[in-house]
Amino acid sequence: MSGSTSKRYPVELRDRAVRMVGEIRPDHESDWAAMTQVATLLGVGTPETIRKWCRQAEVDGGKRPGVTSEESAELKRLKRENAELKRANAILKSASVLFAAELCATRRCVCRGAVRDRPRWVVVAA
């Protein structure tokens, strides 16, 4: 299985794994040993996944510096919104160029047929 672990494992499993690491840590000589045992018990592919969850839980709890899950989700939402607005802006720019070209073509046609004593540019309503 490939992809992000947030889609592969439910939030409840992640919370349980982090809690279990904290509970069994005193029984092991290192954090890694505790994480390895939790990964085996819960059927998580690799202890590295558990380590990432524990580090993120520490960041979210304010025990470690870094970007919290909430900030990360907000940043992701804002980037998606920004990309959507850029696409909309590009569409509007190309549409305005198209309409400006049509307007210029309409003005040129009217100008060629206009009498010389009249204004050179006449705007024709569509």
Q: Report the mean per-residue pLDDT for the chain.
A: 84
What domains are there in the chain, each with its CATH number? 5-66 (1.10.10.10)
Calculate the dihedral angle through the C-alpha atoms of 31, 32, 36, 42, rounding to the nearest 10 degrees: 40
> Looking at the predicted structure, is the pLDDT value of residue 45 above 80?
yes
> Looking at the predicted structure, is the pLDDT value of residue 1 above 50?
no
At residue 113, φ and ψ (nearest 5 deg) are -95, 0
pTM value is 0.61
Residue 52: the pLDDT is: 95
* Closest-CA residue to 54 (of 24, 29, 22, 27): 22
